[in-house]
Structures are given as C-alpha cells and as structure tokens.
Amino acid sequence: MASIRVQTADFDVSAELAALGAGRQDIGGYGIFVGTVRGNAHGHAISAMTLEHYPAMTERAMARIAAEAERRWDLLGCTLIHRVGVLLPGENIVLVLAASAHRQAALDAAAFLIDWLKTAAPFWKKERFASGEDNWVDAREADDAAAARWGALTAS
Amino acid sequence: MASIRVQTADFDVSAELAALGAGRQDIGGYGIFVGTVRGNAHGHAISAMTLEHYPAMTERAMARIAAEAERRWDLLGCTLIHRVGVLLPGENIVLVLAASAHRQAALDAAAFLIDWLKTAAPFWKKERFASGEDNWVDAREADDAAAARWGALTAS
Amino acid sequence: MRILYFAWLRERIGTGEEEVAVPAEVNTVGTLVAWMRGRGPAYHAAFAVGNTVRCAVNQEFADPDAVVRDGDEVAFFPPVTGG
Amino acid sequence: MRILYFAWLRERIGTGEEEVAVPAEVNTVGTLVAWMRGRGPAYHAAFAVGNTVRCAVNQEFADPDAVVRDGDEVAFFPPVTGG
C-alpha cells in the first residue's frame, strides 16, 4: 500500500497529500515530516549536499520500514520519497507521510518512519563546504538512539 | 513569529511550507499535521461538518499555544491554520506546521500544537448525518489526556 | 454585562449574544450560572446541573470562582472540539 | 563474488564495483573483510580496524558472521546517513 520513491526531482507535498487522499473519506489526519538541507554544518557554510544510495537495496529497505509502520499502526496510506543527487541548501531531501483515521497513529508513524529511514536505509550524505572541501557526514549516535526507542524492526 | 489564521477557505500545504521556508537555510525539518473530515462517525455516514468558533478569543488562544511551543522547542517558524464553516468529508480542517533545525523538535512541536489546539482553542464541530440529523461532537477524554501529557500551558 | 453563547448552548438558548444587567450578588462565574438558571426554561435546560458548560471571561478560560464585573464579556460554551 | 562500495569506501578504493574470486576459506563477512585488507594499500586503509564499515549481503544488512558465497552481491559502506 505504501508509495515509495527515490528520485532526483523535487516533490510537492500538496500533490502527495492529494494523491494519497483521493476519493477517500476514512482519513482523519496526516502526519508528515519534510527534511531539508541546512546551509551550515558545525558552523561552516555548506554550498551543496550530495546524496548517494545503493539502488538495488534502497527501495527494499524503505518498503520494509513502511511495512513495519503499517504493522504497528492502523495506517490508511503511507508515502516515502527520498531524493538523491546534488541538493542545495533549503532544498527538500525527504518526505514521510502517514495517513490514519486518528491523529496519534499518523503522527507516531511519521516519527517512526523518519527515525528508521535515517538508520536503516542505504543513503549517504556528502557535504560540500563553501571552502570547496568535501566531507562525508558521520552517522549520529542520536539517530541510532531515536530509532532504537521504537524497538527492533520485525518485518522480514 | 507564528503565522495564525482562521479561515473558511482551504489551505495549501506546499504553499505554507514555501512561505515559511522562503530564503531560509537554517531549517532542517518540518513537522506537519493535517486534520481532515472523516465521512462517518460512530458508524453513521456524515454529509457535512460545521465548524463554529469564538472569533474574539480564537486567535488569542492559538497565539498562546504557538508561543508555548516556541518556548519549549527551538522553532524557526510555526504556522497554524484552522478552517471554519461548512466542510465536506475528505476536506481539510486544520494545518499545524513547525519548523526547526532538528527533526525531533519539529515533530514534537507539531504533536504538541495539535493536541493543544484540540483542547484549548474555542472551536466546536457539528456533524450532519446523512439521515439529516445534526449532532454537536462531544469532547473526547482521550484528547484531554493527549494534551495533559505535555503538562500545563505556562504562556500568559 | 455582555453574554455570548456557542454551539449547543447558542441553539438551546436561541441567541448567540445578549446584554444583561445582573444583581450585585452575581459577581463570579458560579453565581452567574446559578442566576442564569432562573431566567426561564431554555436557560434552565442549558445550564442544567448535569451539563458540562465551560466559560471564558474577556476571552480567557475561567473557573467558577473567577470574578465577573459589569462591562465584562462572558462566554458560555461546551468543551471545545476543534482540530 | 560481486563487491560494491559506497560513499567514502568507494572513493578510497577508487571503484564502486568489482568482481572478485575469493579463496575457499573466505566464507563469512568477517573473513572477507580480513582478506580485503591484504589486497593493497587502498583496501588496507579502507578496511582499517578502526573504521566503522557496514556490510550488506544480497541487499540485506549483514553481521561479520554472516555467510558469503560465490555469486553473492556483497556491499561495503559506512553507517547510513540519509533522511
């Protein structure tokens, strides 16, 4: 049921909401997270962010995360879009959209989905600083902790 | 800093995101909730939902809720839009949008904002059933509990 | 004193707004509610003891012991159900 | 065996993908990593003991004791940083 996409193009949140909700009257709320490129890291200006991924594995990993969310909450739809390629500060990186009859399920599922996307889907970010230097972003322990609070993924 | 509106017209989530993020490079994520009219209540089909409010009090109450969110989390922007008037099943009712450098703050603030909007802003919903009967929606204890988990509002 | 009614209170009382002159001993939300009950069958039904009625004084939520004064705007309504 | 590298591993090794024939005793992720270290300075640096390198076998995350076989697709990469 989940709609999962990896793309270089930008996404439009309203269009994704409309696509998910088209013709439906059972949805009471949408929990949404949009991640964007920040213009600095560790106090240094960033000129671009490059997103790399492992194509053969990515959609499978994202589908597993979505399936786990659908197992844990009564979702009526779920959209995951992750951009790859060169992105500029202010641009969108990722969209997580979870629809449910009830707001708490929608919000909890959205939080779960982004926490797990950050720790269990094969994407890597490289920052280009204004100085011209490149840096592969380090994984954050805080992200692992955020994902771990949901317990292990059980989907197979 | 918060943008607060009560309106009969629909809202466009992408446009609100663009307005909040215009020219900024400090935002890392947006936590969003969109509430919509469900087509049934207690197993009965609904033909319309009418939203009434207390105009002189509404924006003040919403501003207080937004100020409290801005006090609790490092927000870089916040948009609250609540529709009033006659709404049909599937239509948008409410938009909550919280922007932050960090996703957890954005998501937590969005959850806080919708929980408190439901319990501390003077809106009332009347359902019109397909049978023609009208019913003022009862407040839900679950909503009070959801708001209470954040503790008391301290903004004055 | 300006009194406003919302949602089913407005419908039951038959108006959304009225000006009232209250006796001197009506000086809190609680005493105002008790006084309202005596104004006729519609008021009696709307403010019946079993009903959950909330109040705002000058656009701020107010408890039964909150003070009301001449010139205040006092609103009565059911628990809110927005969002 | 098809080996893939991502992010800084790809850059350090200088290729994103190669076919390798491994000796019979290389039959787990852990023994494959140890064997990789002996393939030259770039591999030695990429798979240095202090580096945190993750692995997927046939597009599934895999621990050091996971089995690898001829014909598998084995990917090495740093901890993921998407989202």
- Report all structural domains of chain A as residue ranges with CATH numbers, in order of start: 2-148 (3.90.1170.40)
Contact criterion met (CB below 8 Å) for B92 and B10: yes
How far apart, in whole angstroms, are the C-alpha atoms of residue D56 and residue D58?
Answer: 6
pTM for the whole thing?
A: 0.95
Query: What residue in C sits closest to B137 (Cα-Cα)?
Result: C81
A26 touches chain B (CB under 8 A): yes
- Which helix (H) or strand (E) segment holds residue B94: the answer is strand B92-100
The count of C-alpha atoms lying within 13 angstroms of the C-alpha of D79, restricted to the half-sphere facing its C-beta, is 12
Q: Do C83 and B123 touch (CB under 8 A)?
A: yes
CA–centroid distance for B54 within its chain: 15
Q: Do A93 and D83 touch (CB under 8 A)?
A: yes
Radius of gyration of chain D, Cα coordinates, nearest whole angstrom: 12
Q: Do A56 and D83 touch (CB under 8 A)?
A: no
**Residue range B11-19: mean pLDDT, rounded:** 98
**Residue range B115-119: mean pLDDT, rounded:** 96
Q: Do C81 and B139 touch (CB under 8 A)?
A: yes
Q: How many contacts, defined by CB atoms under 8 Å, are there between A and B?
A: 101
CATH topology of domain C2-77: Ubiquitin-like (UB roll) (3.10.20)
**Interface with D, mutate which of A37, A87, A123 (most D CBs under 10 A):** A123
The count of C-alpha atoms lying within 13 angstroms of the C-alpha of D36, restricted to the half-sphere facing its C-beta, is 27
Alpha-carbon distances, residue A19 vs A30, A77, B31 (angstroms) = 13, 10, 20
Is the ipTM of this structure higher than 0.90? yes
Query: What residue in A sits closest to B146 (Cα-Cα)?
Result: A104
Contact criterion met (CB below 8 Å) for D47 and D33: yes
B39 touches chain A (CB under 8 A): yes
- Nearest CB to A54: which of D77, D79, D81? D77
For chain C, the structural domain boundaries read 2-77
How far apart, in whole angstroms, are the C-alpha atoms of residue B143 and residue B148?
Answer: 8
> How far B83 CA sits from the closest chain C CA (Å)?
9
**Residue range B74-91: mean pLDDT, rounded:** 98
Residue labelled with tokens 């919302």: C6
Q: Do C7 and B118 touch (CB under 8 A)?
A: no
Identify the segments of chain C with pLDDT beneath 50.
none
- Which helix (H) or strand (E) segment holds residue B146: the answer is helix B141-148
Q: Do A35 and B107 touch (CB under 8 A)?
A: no
> How far B25 CA sits from the closest chain C CA (Å)?
30
Contact criterion met (CB below 8 Å) for B80 and B112: no
Give the pLDDT score at A142: 87
Residue B56 φ/ψ region, left for φ over 0, alpha for ψ in the -120 to 50 degree band, beta for the rest: alpha
pLDDT, one tens digit for every residue, chain A (156 residues)? 799 999 999 999 999 999 999 999 999 999 999 999 999 998 999 999 999 999 999 999 999 999 999 999 999 999 999 999 999 999 999 999 999 999 999 999 999 999 999 999 999 999 999 999 999 999 988 898 899 898 887 644
- Which pLDDT tens digit goes with each residue over D37-83? 999 999 999 999 888 999 999 999 999 999 999 999 999 999 999 99
Q: Do D82 and A54 touch (CB under 8 A)?
A: no
Q: Which residues of B touch C12 (CB under 8 A)?
A: none
Give the pLDDT score at C50: 85
Average pLDDT, chain D: 96
